[in-house]
Amino acid sequence: MARRLLLVLAALVLAAAIPVCAIEVPVSAYTLRNGLRVLIHEDHSAPVVSSYVFYRSGSRNETLDQTGIAHLFEHMMFNGGKKFGPGVFDDLIEGNGGSTNGYTTKDLTAYLNNFPREALPLVLDLESDRMANLAITQQNLEQERGIVMEERRLRIDNQVVGAMSESLSLASFVRSPYRWNTVGFMDDLERITLEEARAYFHTYYAPNNAILVLAGDVEPEPTVRLVDRYFGRIPRRPPPAPVDGREPVQDGARRVTVRKAAELPALLMGWHGVGVNDPDRAPLDVVERLLADGDSSRLELDLVREHELATETAADNSWTIDPELFTIYAQAAPGKTLAAIEERIDAVLRALAEKPVPPEELAKAKTRLRADLVRSLKTVSGKANRIGFAEVVFGDHQALTRVEKEWEAVSAEDVRRVVAKYLGPNQKTVVVLDPVKPGGATQ
């Protein structure tokens, strides 16, 4: 099946100007009686398989007094079920040539294993055991609580950009659960109880709230029968309550200062964007690439090359279920001020909102988006991850094909319109890093 992917892709890359064929990752899709979605992609180029179990459980499903519980759960999931006791999961995966990991975002939690194909029944056995019967014990909770607090110190408390990013969301969002960072607040991590953990598990870790993706050296029909043998008897549970991701309109800029030991000032700006299925997502994807993707993008040319105010710039239009922030980051060059940087960022956005972007520049941004999509499909693990992400976040495992058509349809006027609509000077939240020079340092 990898061959088919290749042919379709080869057709698409002929030229950016020609209407483009779709990036296709063929998937056989099934739904078991208990609601578990099973998505299988065949790729026989190596005798390996990648499995991902996605749960529709991210920090957007948390409440303000239980922040971090979705991610804490990701950790607890490796510590034993009923058939397989504590400390067995990792041992068995690695002892059979596999590797295992998990990650949590605002929208989802994913559990992945990459392994030689003979280990497939074992992997299904382990994954179904923890879905049905995770051992939620005080010991499991306490062990992971300490580890996750250490992870928060690593990623937020002792990391300049992590701290800025947390501050940006806190200042931008008023009621959307995207307000807090996925790792959670230290107070909540210290406090979360065993009862809360049990309740969370019973709400979100159900087959009808999960998607199993298998990519690699497998045949769909026999494989889905095997999957049913392991997962088919896990009972369906009542669906979780829907999340309210609405956010009141922001009218007026907001400013926050983060004080941290740092060498260079930096700026992180955010504007309220759109959810992934909004028709304006594709034009905003293009804007992200026009602004900061490569040395010939607009912020690089203006802030780094022409005015030499910044050492690096970045832009991000997140793909999320509910509206997230469109962000721009810039690190100041030594001796340059954040005020000057912000002024230039506003000017670059104003130019995009006023003058249509030239055709070759628009084509370049689209080519970059497409090329990165191809790059994300280099490995079976990359493909499985993309398929599951599309199913959870877009609600459609074939969404990548559609996304590509949406990019192709974006016009210069769409770009102008969305910059004017979303990225205005009165809709932004600005986080400035005010560097505290480390005491005793010789700077």
Q: Closest Cα to residue 152, out of 67, 62, 78?
A: 67
Q: Figure out which of the listed residues 4, 31, 46, 103 binds another protein, where binding follows CB under 8 A.
A: 46
* Footprint of another protein on 249-278 (CB under 8 A): 260-264
Can you tell me which residue has the tokens 């379709």?
8
Among the residue ranges 61-69, 219-227, 231-239, 413-421, the one whose residues contact another protein (CB under 8 A) = 219-227
Among the residue ranges 221-229, 241-249, 345-353, 424-432, the one whose residues contact another protein (CB under 8 A) = 221-229
Distance of CA 223 to the CA centre of its chain: 28
Least Cβ distance, residue 334 to another protein (angstroms): 6
Q: Do strands 254-261 and 99-104 pair parallel, antiparallel, or not at all (unpaired)?
A: unpaired
Least Cβ distance, residue 300 to another protein (angstroms): 8
- Report the alpha-carbon distance of residue 222 to residue 197 in Å, rounded: 36
Q: Which residues of 280-306 are buried (b: 16+ CB within 10 A; e: fewer)?
A: bbbbbbbbbbbbbbeeebbbbebbbee
* Footprint of another protein on 370-429 (CB under 8 A): 370-372, 374-375, 377-381
Residue 115 or 319 having the CB closest to another protein: 115
* Footprint of another protein on 81-100 (CB under 8 A): 87, 90-91, 94-100
Least Cβ distance, residue 432 to another protein (angstroms): 15
Residue 45 or 138 having the CB closest to another protein: 45
Distance of CA 443 to the CA centre of its chain: 37
Residue 308 or 354 having the CB closest to another protein: 308
- Report the alpha-carbon distance of residue 64 to residue 175 in Å, rounded: 10
Does 41 help bind another protein (rule: CB under 8 A)? no
Residue 354 corresponds to which tokens in the numbers above? 């006023």
Does 144 help bind another protein (rule: CB under 8 A)? yes
- Report the alpha-carbon distance of residue 111 to residue 345 in Å, rounded: 39
Q: Please, is 413 exposed, middle or buried when counting C-beta atoms within 10 Å of its C-beta (0-12, 13-18, 19+)?
A: exposed
* Footprint of another protein on 272-331 (CB under 8 A): 293-297, 301, 305, 308, 311, 331
Beta pairing partners, 434: 259
- Report the alpha-carbon distance of residue 120 to residue 417 in Å, rounded: 49
Does 140 help bind another protein (rule: CB under 8 A)? no
Residues 39, 29 contacting (CB under 8 angstroms): yes
Q: What is the DSSP letter of 259?
A: E
- Report the alpha-carbon distance of residue 429 to residue 123 in Å, rounded: 45
* Footprint of another protein on 163-182 (CB under 8 A): none
Least Cβ distance, residue 241 to another protein (angstroms): 32
Residue 250 or 367 having the CB closest to another protein: 367
Residue 3 or 202 having the CB closest to another protein: 3
Residue 165 or 381 having the CB closest to another protein: 381
Least Cβ distance, residue 146 to another protein (angstroms): 3
Helix (H, G, I), strand (E, B) or coil at 97: coil
Q: Which residues of 230-261 are buried (b: 16+ CB within 10 A; e: fewer)?
A: bbeebeebeeeeebebebeebeeeeeeebebe
Residues 369, 286 contacting (CB under 8 angstroms): yes
Residue 203 or 401 having the CB closest to another protein: 401
Helix (H) or strand (E) holding 325: strand 325-332
Q: Figure out which of the listed residues 65, 187, 190, 219 binds another protein, where binding follows CB under 8 A.
A: 219
The end-to-end CA distance of the chain, in Å, is 57
Least Cβ distance, residue 125 to another protein (angstroms): 9
Residue 80 or 245 having the CB closest to another protein: 80
Least Cβ distance, residue 148 to another protein (angstroms): 8
* Footprint of another protein on 178-207 (CB under 8 A): none
Residue 52 or 178 having the CB closest to another protein: 52
* Footprint of another protein on 57-76 (CB under 8 A): none
Distance of CA 386 to the CA centre of its chain: 10
Residue 14 or 174 having the CB closest to another protein: 14
Q: Figure out which of the listed residues 108, 218, 338, 393 binds another protein, where binding follows CB under 8 A.
A: 218
# residues contacting another protein (CB under 8 A): 98
x/- map, 333-362, another protein, by CB under 8 A: xx-------------------------x--
Beta pairing partners, 111: 53, 102
- Report the alpha-carbon distance of residue 46 to residue 422 in Å, rounded: 45
